[in-house]
Amino acid sequence: MLDVTGRDRGFGESPLREEAIDAHLKRYSANDPDVYESLFKIEMSLFSHRQEEEKKKQEREKKRNEAKNKGPQKGYSAPVPRKSASMKKPRRR
């Protein structure tokens, strides 16, 4: 599914498609190779920046989840030592 700018917003974000850039440039009568290349470079740098930010966010969440899951679980207590019956001692009467 494309949004208003022409980006594909399916499972993840993708860079602006070539057809979308071309359509916008034609709309504003600026369909020039230099303008197209400049827009394409800007779009690719923005897209790579967004990917890096998303990767950092996922790493932070992963670390937070790992820290959360470390240590004893809720409702868990350490084993309690229990005295067991010894066969060596005589029974009380």
Under 8 Å between Cβ of 9 and 2: yes
Entry pTM? 0.55
Under 8 Å between Cβ of 25 and 35: yes
Residue ranges per structural domain of the chain: 18-69
Q: What is the mean pLDDT of residues 83-92?
A: 65
What does the alpha-carbon distance between residue 19 and residue 40 come to, in Å, rounded to a whole number? 12
How would DSSP label each residue in 2-19?
B-TTS-BBSSSB-PPPHH
Q: What is the pLDDT of residues 16-62, one digit of tens each?
A: 788 888 888 999 998 899 999 998 899 889 889 988 999 999 999 99
> Which letter does DSSP use for residue 90 in this model?
P
